[in-house]
Structure 1
Amino acid sequence: MDSTPLADRMKNSLRFDEAKRHDDPRILKLGSPVSTLRNRVSCSTTGSSGRSVSSSGTRKSGSGSSSSRVEIVPAGNICPSGKVIAGMRSKPVRTVLSDNEMIPGMYGYGSIMPAGATPKTRRVSGSGSPESSWKINSEELKVKGNENYKKGNFLEALYFYDKAIAISPGNGRLHCNRAAVLMGLKRIPEAVKECEEAIRLAPAYLRAHQRLGSLLLILGQVENARKYLFILDQIPDEAELHKLETVENHINKCTEARRLGDWTSVLKEAEAATTRGAEASAQLFACQAEAHLKLHQLTDAELWMYKARMYEASARAYKSKLFGMISEAYIFFVQAQIENTLGKFDNACAAIERAAQVDLQSAEVIGLLKNMRLVGRARSLGNELFKSGRYIEACSAYGEGLSRDSLNLILYCNRATCWYKLEQWEKSLDDCNHALLIQPHYIKALFQKAASNVKLERWADAVREYEILRQELPYDRELAEFLFHCRVELKNSQGEDVHNMTFIRKVDLILDLDKFHTAITSYATSVILFKEAYNEQCKRMSLVMDTLSTKYRSVDVEQSPAIAAAENITILPTFKMYRYGRLVMELYIPNPEMLEDLIRHYRH
């Protein structure tokens, strides 16, 4: 073995051949027009013996006794002082040291650091996760990810696994670990895809199969979960096995309750299955939506259907079954029923058609598809008869459709309109009530019911229906007029004086100060509303004044800044009441009842 000291070997390997230096065509003279190094810059490096080597090539010892020159070409692109090596075609000869031979404080080719400097670790901002300034191998990153996963730091663990996969994308175990982190983050569909990738890369990796089984159980796909959990005759751990059996038991009870039409029990068992393990099951969410719909809880049905659609892609990936239907088809099956109940018949037909495309073998899907087609025909026939004035026949056609679909509120409302045309007000009310039982705020049913109550002179009921409609349609002036007339009739039926109650459809808009003074002095009592055109509260108060049927005038402060300044208007909307030109009342955003009482008080 060579006994030459390691430092001398390194120095020799970097020595520049003096004989070749003068003849090397790659060397440019300092004064050459090509060279950019016009000025000599003196710098020195310390050798192993304590001597310094200057850039001019003169070696100075501590005693000053030596005059020989040593020229060193360091690693990289740094050349001897005064010389530039151009067009290098081959790498410089250099000594490569093993990890065991490295000398503390020394560094290799590449980054240049001050003498004695050592590589430092830097932090990744925001994540708190360390990343070495040199390349870390995937195994080290995996270890870091595992440590964070065990501590519950899922986002940090995901960061390290992502880095490791970027280095080793074909490592199935890394993808399986990433799936575990995504499970912890409740990103179940993504976790399923990671497990599938892990199995593709490492088909014999048992942990990936069992993790995928756990994920499928969370999605409520019991049969598919069982296949992966018991892969290669392996038995899952006791907790996972208990969860599988519990979820399966609740789904079986749910299936039986649904067959019997016991929707309360269906809801109970479906909720139990989701809370005991199948917490991201699209088909069980759809089952709860269907149960709420059958129990006439439409808002809850819409909420659970929304959740089902969030995980619909997972149900599509694996052809599991629930209630004898492919899971994806069942979700469309329930959606069709909900859309139909909401009065969106065309959307309902589209949903059931999609369900049939997924599962044409399901008796329930095919049954509903045929039924909805027949209901659609009955509806079309009824509409044609109604347009031709054949109201009795139209009632029969709509009735035929209702015999096939007792939750179709469109048919109830259409038949109610026919009864109204036939002056059979009670039957019209009955069909409206059926529709409102299905959907309490269905606009068409509320209008028809209010109109029937008006014909029956049930003023209190008519006022109640129109007030509900006003909440749904606050800017409908025609509706405001209907409500006003019903209130007048109600007061009249109760013996109250209604002679001064007049519905004013047109409001005078005052634009200049002179007209404003004329308006407040020309009448015994004048009510002025100061408003802005695009202020929502101002719009609402204008409608309140319409329903109170009070003669009033308005001032748009944007168009009439002089009036607003003269009256010192700082809050909108503002009501002011004048008697013979004198201000007697000023209110800021009052409630309708207070405003009506004050107007009545000051007017008399």
Structure 2
Amino acid sequence: MHGLGEAEKALHHYKQSGSLVDREDIAKAEALQKQLNRCNGARNLKEWSDLLKGTQFAISVGADSAPKVYALQTEALLRLQRHQEAYATYNKGPKFLIESCTKLFGPAGSAYILVMKAQVYMATGRLEDAVKVAQHAAQLDPKNQEIVTIVKRAKAIASARLSGNLLFKASQYLEACNMYTEGLEHEPYNSILLCNRAACRSKLGQYERAVEDCTTALILQPTYSKARLRRADCNAKLERWEASVQDYEMLIREIPGDEEVGRALFEAQVQLKKQRGEDVKDMKFGSNLVFISSNERFRHFVTSPGMAVVLFCNKANHKQVLQLMEQVCKRFPSVNFLKVEVEDHPYLAKSEGVSSIPAFKIYKNGSRVKEIPGNNRELLEKSVKLYSSRRNIL
């Protein structure tokens, strides 16, 4: 009972057991009961930061199998507009069949857990599922007006998105935009509706407002790649090249083999250089293959933030492996690919521990992280994708 968050029942059981009970167990149950009372008080007062801290503490002192405590933590995160964390918390919590929950926690307790599930579904775009789950909660606790309100809200949002999507597909962008706005009146911080409305506003040439919608969606869900891509595109249309490059660079780390994103990143980088008055005449898409002419040039690339792939090869027999490298580098335009001919730079081969050639070495933020035989394209591609998508590998 203690682990399930039922501290009151646990204390009753301990008292019935008399002298057989360890006093330490009673003390833990009493501490948990006090903490759960604080959590319920914080929820009633809508003090969401206090509720979040309280649930974290309750889990740390033993309520790590308590679905209601995780549901309370999920609610706190939702109210604090931290939707991505709310989704992760809900998934991390223990899962019980609803019949078992009802037996353990009563109909009202089970209904509350279902309502939090419904609201997580709403926040993550599973609107039809949200309606079904909220309706189930209403069946368990039909007199709860809060649950009745959530059912109505879920239905209104689901209807608004469906209608908006149909209008968007029919190229009726203004009408679709109005429909998504109607849905947002029921839930102003719904990242899916915000991103969809941004798509309409972009089509209508309202790029500034589209950027605002995408930014709000990304605050709610920082890894929402569709919103980031849309914001990058709108910033490009507004000629805010630096902001556009930042978003494209983040996207290319998440999906390093996406040629469309890679090309958009390259175009934004070209425009940013032009804006700064820099020379761009030699820039070409897929031209991230660099010939190393000096130790200084090598050190510059491998110690810069980000990732570099270095081919160590002979002058005489490097054509085939160089072709392989060229094919891979086109798929990963944000990664620097370097070629070192060991006859001209034997000291580099020695200092970098090259034992056989041809060979690839991968560098991340100045450190060597991987060596790959020069004829293994599949392993090279997998490794580049893996390491370029890890932001803090070291």
Normalized against structure 2, the TM-score is what?
Answer: 0.69
The CA distance in 2 between the partners of 1:490 and 1:548, in whole Å, is: 19
Per the alignment, residue 108 of structure 2 pairs with: 326
The CA distance in 2 between the partners of 1:385 and 1:569, in whole Å, is: 59
The CA distance in 2 between the partners of 1:353 and 1:544, in whole Å, is: 47
Q: CA deviation at 1:432?
A: 0.7
Per the alignment, residue 415 of structure 1 pairs with: 197
2:95 matched to 1:307? no
Per the alignment, residue 168 of structure 2 pairs with: 386
Residue identity matched to 2:6: Q
1:70-90, CA deviations, whole angstroms, 9 ceiling, x for partnerless residues? xxxxxxxxxxxxxxxxxxxxx
CA 1:527–1:495: 2 relative to 1, 3 Å = farther
Residue identity matched to 1:416: A
Per the alignment, residue 249 of structure 2 pairs with: 467
Residue identity matched to 1:480: G
Higher helix share: 2
Q: CA deviation at 1:405?
A: 1.1
CA 1:429–1:531: 2 relative to 1, 3 Å = closer
Residue among 124, 128, 152 paired with 1:342? 124
The CA distance in 1 between the partners of 2:58 and 2:361, in whole Å, is: 54
Per the alignment, residue 56 of structure 2 pairs with: 271
Over the residues paired in the alignment, what is the CA RMSD in angstroms? 4.0
What SS does the aligned partner of 2:279 have? coil
2:281 matched to 1:499? yes
Q: CA deviation at 1:293?
A: 3.1
Q: CA deviation at 1:370?
A: 1.7
1:238-259, CA deviations, whole angstroms, 9 ceiling, x for partnerless residues? 6555444433332222112112
Unpaired runs of 5+ residues, structure 2, are 290-314, 339-355, 363-373, 375-379, 385-394
2:231 matched to 1:449? yes
CA 1:358–1:492: 2 relative to 1, 3 Å = same
The CA distance in 2 between the partners of 1:451 and 1:307, in whole Å, is: 34
Q: CA deviation at 1:260?
A: 2.0
Residue among 316, 322, 334 paired with 1:528? 322
1:162-206, CA deviations, whole angstroms, 9 ceiling, x for partnerless residues? xxxxxxxxxxxxxxxxxxxxxxxxxxxxxxxxxxxxxxxxxxxxx
Per the alignment, residue 251 of structure 1 pairs with: 36
Unpaired runs of 5+ residues, structure 1, are 1-215, 508-515, 521-525, 533-537, 551-567, 575-585, 593-604
Per the alignment, residue 600 of structure 1 pairs with: none
CA 1:438–1:571: 2 relative to 1, 3 Å = same
The CA distance in 1 between the partners of 2:54 and 2:100, in whole Å, is: 20
Aligned pairs for 1:124-203 within 5 A: none
The CA distance in 1 between the partners of 2:143 and 2:104, in whole Å, is: 13
Per the alignment, residue 345 of structure 2 pairs with: none
Aligned pairs for 1:289-300 within 5 A: 289-300=74-85
Contact 2:90 2:117 survives alignment (8 Å): yes
CA 1:495–1:275: 2 relative to 1, 3 Å = closer
Mean Cα displacement is larger for which, 478-487 or 350-359?
Answer: 350-359
1:335-388, CA deviations, whole angstroms, 9 ceiling, x for partnerless residues? 222233233334433433443454444333332122100111111222233233
2:50 matched to 1:262? no
Residue identity matched to 2:34: N
The CA distance in 2 between the partners of 1:240 and 1:326, in whole Å, is: 28
Aligned residues: 324
What SS does the aligned partner of 2:322 have? strand
Taking CA–CA contacts closer than 8 Å with sequence separation of 6 or more, which of the two structures ends up with the larger relative contact order? 2
Q: CA deviation at 1:486?
A: 0.9
CA 1:315–1:236: 2 relative to 1, 3 Å = farther
2:331 matched to 1:543? yes
1:300-353, CA deviations, whole angstroms, 9 ceiling, x for partnerless residues? 4344323323466796263425xxx63333222222222332333344334334
What SS does the aligned partner of 1:217 have? coil
Work out the percentage of aligned pairs sharing the same amino acid.
32
The CA distance in 2 between the partners of 1:549 and 1:300, in whole Å, is: 36
CA 1:433–1:439: 2 relative to 1, 3 Å = same
Normalized against structure 1, the TM-score is what?
Answer: 0.47
CA 1:382–1:302: 2 relative to 1, 3 Å = closer
The CA distance in 1 between the partners of 2:260 and 2:60, in whole Å, is: 50
Contact 2:248 2:261 survives alignment (8 Å): yes
Per the alignment, residue 153 of structure 2 pairs with: 371
Contact 2:256 2:332 survives alignment (8 Å): no
2:178 matched to 1:396? yes
